[in-house]
Structure 1
Amino acid sequence: EDGTLGFECTLEEVDLEDITKNQINTIKACTPEDPGTGNCPSLERSTLDTHQCLQGIYEDLSTYRAELRNFSDQKVLAAIDEMMKVLNTSSRHGLQPVAGTVPSSFSERMRLCSILHAFRIRTVTINRLVNFLSSPESSL
């Protein structure tokens, strides 16, 4: 929210931090191992491991939820929980809500700003992949 961090949290103000880079994540799980030439590999159903891709998305959501649990709005956490439930229908345990707090130091607030922007960008990728997976036939 505007003003929550005590400064304008814009993408230009922060260096993005990929908190998922050392684990399975959406990008690693949903792109082919051999992307071919160019910067934008095409994604085809024949080479996509849907289960692995959905697992990568789930892991991303889990990582971001854990990182944001102490600082974020309960609506954000509830939305992440709902997405995780849809992806992991076999899960029988619910995630417990945590009281959110605003980080106290400036560096903590800058880091939260960075993580929120990185998460926003990742959700665009997740949205595109879910749309791709749910479409009858297409390629990215």
Structure 2
Amino acid sequence: MKMSLLKLCFTPALLLLGLSCSLWQISQALPMKTTARVTDSCVLHAHTLLQNISGALTQNKLFSGIDCSKQSVELNSETNTTFDCTPTGLTCSGDTKSTFDQDSCLDSIVKDLHFYYQFLTSHPDPDSLLGPTVLLSIRELVKKCFTWSTADFALTQAVEDHSTTFDQRLRLCKVLRGFQIRTITINRAIGYMHAEENQKPVLQ
């Protein structure tokens, strides 16, 4: 499977320093209209996904022989999630977002989720550390918040492989680190949209 990934190298200090701005920048989306409402459940499931990704990154079995915290980050470069989900009025890298299109933001998020889901389901998981955590969290988030999505998040059989190569473990580390950063963006966006929903007047 060919996947276009943008490789970014960060030290832990630079990653934290640049997070607030760099997270709101990159990507591309298909026009689509949704009537989706961002509920409390969406906020909860997005937070759970981030927790499970962060937990996976601490699993030594997944990254045997690799100090994952010191590896570079690979971000999905095929979406505009960071830009599409930048709140109105936020300034980053000199650009101020004048409008916020919730449909474009949600569309980019679901594309990101599908991209990482496809990558992770194709990766060997001999110890079943990803299936019941990260992959399950992705499916639950989509099920609760993206019912209009036509992307395939079907429950798939884990890759039958009882071992992983060094290169596979290294790639998983880099992609998971990228997914963690993108999921921080997703959490911020969902939190922003949820707050906007709560401010809308109730129709009598």
TM-score range, shorter chain: 0.7 to 0.9
**Residue 74 (str. 1) matches residue 131 (str. 2):** yes
Per the normalisation by structure 2, the TM-score is 0.54
- Residue from 90, 93, 114 that aligns with 1:39: 93
TM-score between both structures, scaled by the size of structure 1:
0.75
Distance (Å, rounded) in 1 between the aligned partners of 2:84 and 2:163:
32
Between the aligned partners of 2:153 and 2:175, the Cα distance in structure 1 is 24
Q: Which residue of 2 aligns with 1:86?
A: 144
1:107 matches 2:159: no
Q: Is the 8 A contact 1:4 1:102 kept in 2?
A: no
**Partner of residue 193, structure 2:** 133
Q: Match of 1:121?
A: 181
User: Retained in 2: the 8 A contact 1:26–1:56?
Assistant: yes
The runs of 5 or more residues in structure 1 that have no matched partner are: none
RMSD: 2.8
Q: Size of the alignment, in residue pairs?
A: 129
- 8 Å CA contact 1:25, 1:56 repeated in 2: yes
**2:79 is aligned with 1:24:** yes
1:15, 1:114 within 8 Å by CA — same for their partners in 2?
yes
Tell me which amino acid in the other structure corresponds to 2:64: G
Q: Is the 8 A contact 2:86 2:189 kept in 1?
A: no
Contact kept, 8 Å, 1:31 with 1:48, in 2: the verdict is yes
- Distance in 2, matches of 1:62 and 1:25, equals 14
In structure 2, do the counterparts of structure 1 residues 43 and 82 end up closer, same or farther at CA, with 3 Å as the change threshold? Answer: farther
Structure having the higher strand fraction is 2
Taking only the aligned residue pairs, the percentage that are identical comes to 29
Q: Secondary structure at the match of 1:130?
A: helix
